[in-house]
Structure 1
C-alpha cells in the first residue's frame, strides 16, 4: 500500500491505494514510519517526494475501517510517555527530522490525514484542481497528527480554526492564499524536479543545517502539545457525541456526492 524506491538519489514515497483514493490504514501508517527511518539512515538520498497513486493524493484516514477494529486505534495513538510522538504524529513530524528537502506532490483530494502528512513536508506543490480539508471535526474528532506544532508556522489562528471547525473542502487557490501550499502548478512533478536540481550545487550539510535551524525557529517542538492532541482525541473517542458525529458523517450526502464526482475527474 506504500511504494518506496530511490532513483538518482531521490526517494519516492507513493501512497498506493488508488481504489480508495489512498485512504490511510494502520498498515500504511506503519509503513510510512519505517520508511522515514530508512531514509534517515541512507546518506545517499538528497530529496524526498511524497505522492499518491491514481488521481488523488490521499482522502485521509479510512475511519470506518479503523473504527471496526478498536485495537488499531490503540496502535495508532499509543505512546510510552505523554509527550512522546505516537504513530500518527511520527508520520507527520518525521519528515521534518530528515536532513534533506521533502516535497508533497499533490493532486485531487488531499483531505484529513492526507493533508496532515503533506503539512509535514517542507514544500507542497499542487495541481490547480486539488481539494484540501481538515476533516476531523466531521467525525466528532480533533486534529491529532502533530500539526498543532507545524500549522502555526503556516496559518493565522483564525484561518486554522475556520478550516478545523468547518471541515469544508477548499480549492488550491484558497489553500495557497491561506498558507497551506508552497505553489500551484500545472505540472507539480516538473516543478519539484527543477527545484531539486536548483539545490544540487548547494552543500547538503548547509541545507540540513538550514532546515534544522528554521524548523526549530518556526515550529518549536512541544511535548505538551503532543500530549494534548492525544488526550483530547482519546476523550472524544469515548464521547457519545463522537459516535453520533461518526454516524452522521457516514451519511453525509454532500460528501458522498463529492466522491461520486471525483471518479470523473
Structure 2
C-alpha cells in the first residue's frame, strides 16, 4: 500500500490505495515508518517526493479499518515516555529527521491524517483544485499525529485553532494564504520537477545544514507538545462526548453533549 521507488537519487514515496483515496490503514502507518527509517540510512538519496496514487493525496484515516481492532489504536498511540513519538507521530515528524529535502506533491483531497503527513514535509506543492481539512474534531477527537509541532512555524495561532476546530475543507488558495502550502499550481508534476532541479543543483551538505539550522530557529517544545497530543487523544477516546460526536458525524441529529470535563 506504500510504494518506494528510486530515480536518479530521488526517492518517490507513493500512498497507494487509490480505491479509498489513499485513506490510511494501520498497515500504511507501519510501512511509512519503515520507509522513513530506510531512507534515513540511504546516503544515495538527494531528495524525497511524497505523493498519492490516482487523483488524491490522502483522504485521511480509514476510521473503520483502524477502529476494527482496538489493538491497532494502542499500537498507534503507545510510547515509552510521554515526550517520545508514537507510531502516528513518527510518520509525520519522521520526514523532518531526514537530512534531504522532502516535497509533498498534492492533488485532490488532502484531509485529516493526510494533511498532517503532508505538513511533515519540507515543501508542499499543490494543485489549485486541492482541498484541505483537519477533520479530527468531527469525530470528537483532536489532531494527534505531531503536526502541531510543525504548525506553530507555519500558521498564526488563532488560524491554527480555527482550522482544527471547524474541521471543514478549505481551498488551495486559502491554504496558501494561511501558510500551509508552498506553491499552488496547475501542474504539480512539472512544479515538483522544477523545484527538484533547483535543489539538486546545490550541495547536499549545504541543504542538510540549512534544513537543520532552519529547524532549530523554529524549534518548539516538541516533547511537551507530543505528550499533550497523546494525553489529550486518550482522554477523548474515553470520553462519552466522543461517542456522541461520532454518532453526530454519522448523521444523527438528536445529539446533546454532556458538560465538558476540566482540561
Q: CA deviation at 1:25?
A: 0.7
Indicate the residue corresponding to 2:76 in structure 1: 76
Q: In the alignment, is residue 140 of structure 1 matched against residue 140 of structure 2?
A: yes
Partner of residue 258, structure 2: none
Once the two structures are superposed, residues 198-239 of structure 1 have per-residue CA deviations (whole angstroms, 9 ceiling, x without a partner) of 122211011101101111211435211111100000000001
2:260 aligns with none
Q: How far is 1:190 from its partner?
A: 1.1
Q: Does 1:7 align with 2:30?
A: no
Shift >3 Å, 4+ stretches: none
Alignment of 1:201-212 (within 5 A): 201-212=201-212
Aligned to 2:230: 230
Contact 1:15 1:22 in 2 (8 A): yes
Name the counterpart of 2:196.
196
Q: CA deviation at 1:147?
A: 1.2
Hey, what does 1:55 align to over in structure 2? 55
User: Over residues 83-117 of structure 1, what are the superposed CA-to-partner deviations in whole Å (9 max), with x where a residue is unaligned?
Assistant: 10000100000001101000000011000000000
**Backbone CA RMSD of aligned residues:** 1.2
Q: Which moved more, 1:170-179 or 1:199-208?
A: 199-208
Give the distance between the partners of 1:175 and 1:47, measured in 2 at CA. 24
190-199 or 160-169: bigger deviation: 190-199
* 2:67 aligned partner: 67
Answer yes or no: is the 8 Å Cα contact 2:26–2:65 preserved in 1.
Answer: no
Quick one: structure 1 residues 222 and 51, their matched pair in 2 at CA, closer, same or farther if it must change by over 3 Å?
Answer: same
SS in 2 for 1:56: coil
Please report the TM-score for the alignment, with normalisation by the length of structure 1. 0.93
- In the alignment, is the contact (CA less than 8 A) between 1:152 and 1:219 conserved in 2? no
Q: Kindly report which structure 2 residues correspond to 1:31-180, keeping only aligned pairs within 5 A, or say none.
A: 31-180=31-180
Secondary structure at the counterpart of residue 84 of structure 1: coil
Any unmatched runs of 5+ in structure 2? Answer: 254-263
- Where in structure 1 are there 5+ consecutive unaligned residues? 254-265
Distance 1:17 1:73, change over 3 A: same
Q: Provide the C-alpha distance between the structure 2 equivalents of 1:165 and 1:235, rounded to a whole number of angstroms.
A: 17
1:243 aligns with 2:243: yes
Measure the CA separation in 1 of the matches of 2:4 and 2:22.
15
- Give, in whole Å, the separation in 2 of the partners of 1:190 and 1:37: 28
Aligned residues: 253
